């Protein structure tokens, strides 16, 4: 019995270990995304991981800005922080942003030229997460060891990078609106989507009008608020301009595209006015401080999520920037442009830094605030005007360079010039 007992115990332990391994294997096999994450590369799942990393970097930059004083004693140990003051506030945000930018820029360089699945660069993009997490941690720590002069220079460069991000986002939005309108007007869906088109266009214009009325009520309480009156009134002019261009007989794009673009420019106008300094008399304050604090926190959380979603959706929309002749896609082609994806996230790192410091490295921001200050206001306003100009110019190009066609199966816009036709690929519906 004494000899059998150890053997029985060993058998039980072996059975237990085998059972545990079998349950783990079944768990991995039953969860497709977990299996692909642990044992292979999945480019579609990889984009969510990169988006999660970007969200964490946003939250880290915000924590350094708003709660950096709590870790002041730890910052004092870093030589270049000069007692902690050079690694907190706007300086801290820029340092975190620089680390995030370096990570995605390295990924951009290392995945450039990737066109086929199962290439080494494709496997690097979709896998090797342990190595990339270590690289991310090193790159986040590195900027805190750099002198303030380098961080200040990066802050100046980040202004340009954030502008590039806004431009890419604008083109992506116009591309999506154009795709949606042309898809609904195509022969395949014209009869089925006619009522939906009318309802969507009507709802868009109603929301635009209500938004403009509310902005007049909330942000022009006095006749002396001339700047806000100008911003809102000019938004009406832009909405009318886009509608007129869209309804031109040679364009005939309908009401849906100008309606959706109207929603976008009205939102930009609202964001611009909301970005005005809190001491501005033309912005009505909340009735109670507690209510105002909660509204500020909710607005901040929504803004951070919006930044991540905007960066994520724009990053996978590389096809709207491809000007090339018709080429058949193969099964082993990458599903989206990896270098463009990382480039958008790199510029997005600069963009979220500008939002958290109000586009001014010498500007102090209150807790739970984002994109506040006159610089932020004018950036939004210029972005609004640029959006209307780009949309109108796009429609004029459509009118001057006929024919302008969309083939539903291939989903591209074709511009015929004197040379060979140029086709601008529209992102698939699933990318949004």
In-domain check, residue 13:
no
Q: What is the pLDDT of residue 315?
A: 65
In-domain check, residue 159:
yes
In-domain check, residue 422:
yes
CB 374 within 8 A of CB 358: no
∠ CA 116-121-126, rounded to 5° = 90
Cα–Cα distance list, 290 to 219, 293, 296, 299, 371 (Å): 21, 5, 10, 14, 21
Domain total of the chain = 1
In-domain check, residue 17:
no
In-domain check, residue 4:
no
**Range 222-251 burial, b when 16+ CB lie within 10 A, else e:** eeebebbbebbebbbebbeebbebbeeeeb
Cα–Cα distance list, 36 to 50, 133, 150, 168, 304 (Å): 16, 18, 40, 31, 29
The CA R_g of the chain, rounded to the nearest whole Å, is: 26
Helices 256-274 and 226-246: crossing angle in degrees, nearest 10, is 170
DSSP 278: T
C-alpha 380/C-alpha 371 separation (Å) is 10
In-domain check, residue 7:
no
**Structural domain boundaries enclosing 89:** 31-431
C-alpha 43/C-alpha 60 separation (Å) is 26
In-domain check, residue 14:
no
Q: What is the pLDDT of residue 429?
A: 43
Q: Which helix (H) or strand (E) holds 39?
A: helix 32-39
- 3-state percent breakdown (helix, strand, coil) of the chain, nearest 5: 70, 5, 25
Residues of the chain with pLDDT under 50: 1-2, 8-10, 12-13, 15-18, 20-21, 23-31, 33, 36, 39, 83-84, 286-292, 325-326, 399-432
C-alpha 220/C-alpha 228 separation (Å) is 6
Cα–Cα distance list, 141 to 73, 75, 87, 97, 415 (Å): 16, 12, 11, 11, 48
Q: What is the pLDDT of residue 24?
A: 42
CB 336 within 8 A of CB 157: no
Q: What is the pLDDT of residue 403?
A: 38
- Does 403 sit behind a cis peptide bond, omega within 30 degrees of 0 on the bond before it? yes
C-alpha 258/C-alpha 250 separation (Å) is 16
The tokens describing 219, both together, are 């942000």
Contacts of 195-199 spanning 24+ positions with Cβ under 8 A: 197/254, 197/255, 197/256
CA end-to-end span of the chain: 68
pLDDT in tens, 379-396: 999 999 999 998 888 766
Q: What is the pLDDT of residue 299?
A: 64
In-domain check, residue 286:
yes
C-alpha 28/C-alpha 39 separation (Å) is 9
CB 242 within 8 A of CB 204: no
pLDDT in tens, 280-307: 678 765 444 444 456 566 667 777 777 7
> What sign for the dihedral angle of Cα 157, 161, 166, 167?
positive
Strand blocks (E) in 316-362: 323-324
pTM value is 0.73
């Amino acid at each position: 019995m004494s000899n059998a007992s150890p053997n029985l115990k060993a058998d039980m332990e072996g059975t237990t270990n085998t059972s545990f391994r079998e349950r783990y294997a079944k768990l991995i096999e039953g969860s497709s995304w977990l299996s692909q994450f642990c044992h292979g590369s999945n480019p579609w799942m990889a984009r969510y991981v990169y988006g999660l990393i970007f969200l964490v970097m946003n939250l880290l930059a915000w924590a350094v800005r708003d709660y950096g004083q709590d870790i002041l004693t730890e910052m004092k140990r870093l030589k270049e922080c000069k007692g902690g003051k050079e690694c907190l506030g706007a300086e801290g945000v820029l340092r975190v942003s620089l680390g995030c930018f370096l990570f995605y820029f390295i990924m951009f360089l290392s995945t450039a030229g990737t066109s086929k699945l199962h290439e080494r660069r494709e496997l690097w993009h979709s896998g090797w997460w342990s190595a990339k997490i270590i690289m991310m941690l090193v790159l986040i720590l590195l900027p805190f060891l750099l002198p303030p002069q380098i961080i200040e220079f990066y802050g100046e460069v980040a202004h340009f990078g954030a502008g590039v991000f806004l431009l890419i986002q604008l083109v992506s939005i116009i591309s999506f609106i154009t795709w949606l309108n042309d898809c609904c007007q195509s022969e395949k869906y014209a009869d089925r989507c006619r009522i939906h088109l009318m309802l969507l266009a009507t709802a868009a214009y109603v929301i635009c009008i209500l938004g403009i009325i509310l902005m007049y009520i909330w942000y022009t309480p006095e006749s002396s608020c001339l700047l806000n009156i100008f911003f809102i009134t000019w938004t009406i002019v832009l909405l009318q301009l886009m509608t007129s261009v869209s309804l031109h007989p040679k364009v005939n794009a309908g009401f849906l595209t100008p309606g959706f673009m109207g929603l976008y420019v009205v939102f930009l106008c609202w964001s611009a006015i909301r970005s005005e300094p809190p001491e501005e008399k033309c912005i009505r304050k909340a009735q109670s401080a507690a209510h105002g604090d909660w509204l500020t926190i909710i607005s901040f959380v929504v803004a951070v999520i919006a930044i991540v979603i905007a960066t994520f959706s724009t990053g996978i929309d590389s096809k709207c920037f491809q000007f090339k002749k018709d080429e058949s896609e193969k099964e082993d082609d990458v599903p989206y442009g990896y270098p463009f994806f990382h480039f958008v996230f790199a510029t997005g790192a600069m963009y979220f830094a500008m939002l958290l410091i109000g586009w001014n490295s010498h500007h102090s921001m209150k807790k739970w605030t984002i994109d506040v200050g006159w610089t932020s206001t004018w950036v939004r306003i210029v972005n609004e005007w640029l959006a209307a100009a780009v949309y109108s110019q796009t429609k004029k190009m459509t009118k001057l360079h006929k024919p302008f066609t969309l083939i539903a199966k291939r989903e591209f816009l074709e511009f015929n010039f004197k040379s060979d036709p140029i086709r601008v690929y529209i992102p698939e519906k699933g990318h949004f």
